[in-house]
Amino acid sequence: MNELIDLKHILAALIYSGIGIVVLLIAFWIVEKITPENVWKQIVEHKNNAVAIVIGAFIIALGIIIASAING
């Protein structure tokens, strides 16, 4: 009998989502370490919109790449 919601697919989606979030955080940490200034400090304290846009675009692009890798 085919179920509408299959638990193994839900579990796989949760696992892949967790892996994607971990990869995203590691990539952000790497970018934070290779940039000359502290990115978070630039965004929060100095209100640097350019850095915020670049980091936002980086996160969106990496999210698209991770989603494509998960979907195959």
Contact (CB, 8 A) for 39 and 29: no
* Residue 72 pLDDT greater than 80, yes or no: no
Mean pLDDT (the chain) is 83
% the chain with pLDDT above 70:
92
Mean pLDDT of 43-63: 90
Sequence-separated contacts (24+) of 12-18 with Cβ below 8 Å: 16/70, 17/70
What pLDDT is attached to residue 64?
Answer: 86
